[in-house]
Chains A and B, each alone.
Chain A
Amino acid sequence: MMHLHHASRRTLAVAALASAVLCVAGLFVAQLRGQQQPSEIELVISGEPGTPPRYAIPEFVAASPDAAEAAKTLAQVLWDDLNFEREFYLIPRDTYGSVRAARTADQIDFAGWRELGADGVVFGTVQKVGASFQVQVRLFNVRSRQAVFSKEYTGANVRLISHTASDEIHLQQRNLKGVARTKLAFSSDRNREKISGPVQNRDVKEIYIADYDGENVRRITTNRQLNITPAWSPDARAIAYTSYRRGYPDIFVALLYQGLQEEPTRGIGQNFLPVWSPDGTRLAFTTNRDGNPEIYVMNRDGSGLRRVTNNPAIDVTPTWSPSGTQIAFTSDRAGTPQIYIVGADGLNLRRITTTESYADRPTWSPAPFNEIAFAARTGPGFDIKVYDLASGQTRQITFGEGTNESPAFSPNGRHIAFTSTRAGRVQLFTLARDGKNVRQITRDGNNYTPAWSN
Chain B
Amino acid sequence: MMFTLPGSHFSVRVRVQVRFVLRALALVALVLTMACAKKTPPVTTAPPPVSVPPAASAAPPAPPAPQRVDDALPVPAQPLAEDTVGGRSLDDLNRDSPLKPAFFPLDSSDLDSEGRAVVSANAELLKKYPTWMITVEGHCDERGTAEYNLALGERRAVVVKTYLASLGISPDRIRTVSYGKEFPFDPGHTEAAWSKNRRAHFVITSK
Contact = CB atoms under 8 A, between A and B. Distances in A.
Interface of A: 198-200, 202-203, 205, 226, 228-229, 242, 244, 247-249, 270, 272-273, 286, 288, 291-293, 314-317, 330, 332, 336-337, 358, 360-361, 375, 380-382, 403, 405-406, 419, 448-449
Contact of A292 (B144, B155, B177): B155
A247 B90 CA distance: 16
A335 to B, nearest CB: 10
Contact of B183 (A202, A336, A403): A202
B148 A198 contact: no
Contacts of A247: 135, 177
Given A286-B151, A314-B151, 6 more contacts: A244-B177, A247-B177, A292-B154, A314-B152, A317-B147, A358-B144
**Shortest beta-carbon contacts, A-B, top 7:** A198-B94, A360-B145, A317-B147, A316-B151, A293-B151, A314-B151, A360-B148
Nearest to B95: A200
Given A292-B155, A406-B145, A286 B204 contact: no
Interface string B81-108: 0000000001100110000000000010
B146 A405 contact: yes
B179 A226 contact: yes
Contact of B148 (A248, A314, A381, A449): A314
Interface in B98-127: 107
Given A198-B204, A270-B154, A270-B177, A337 B148 contact: yes
Interface string B120-145: 00000000000000010100001111
B160 interface: no
B170 interface: no
Nearest to B175: A248
Interface of B: 90-91, 94-95, 107, 135, 137, 142-148, 150-152, 154-155, 158, 175, 177-179, 182-183, 201, 203-205
Contacts, number: 94
Contacts of A330: 147-148, 151
Contacts of A199: 94, 137, 183, 201, 203
The listed residue with most A CB atoms (<10 A of its CB), out of B143, B151, B155, B175, is: B151
The listed residue with most A CB atoms (<10 A of its CB), out of B107, B142, B150, B205, is: B150
A358 B151 CA distance: 14
A188 B151 CA distance: 21
A375 B145 CA distance: 8
Contacts of B152: 314
Contacts of B205: 198
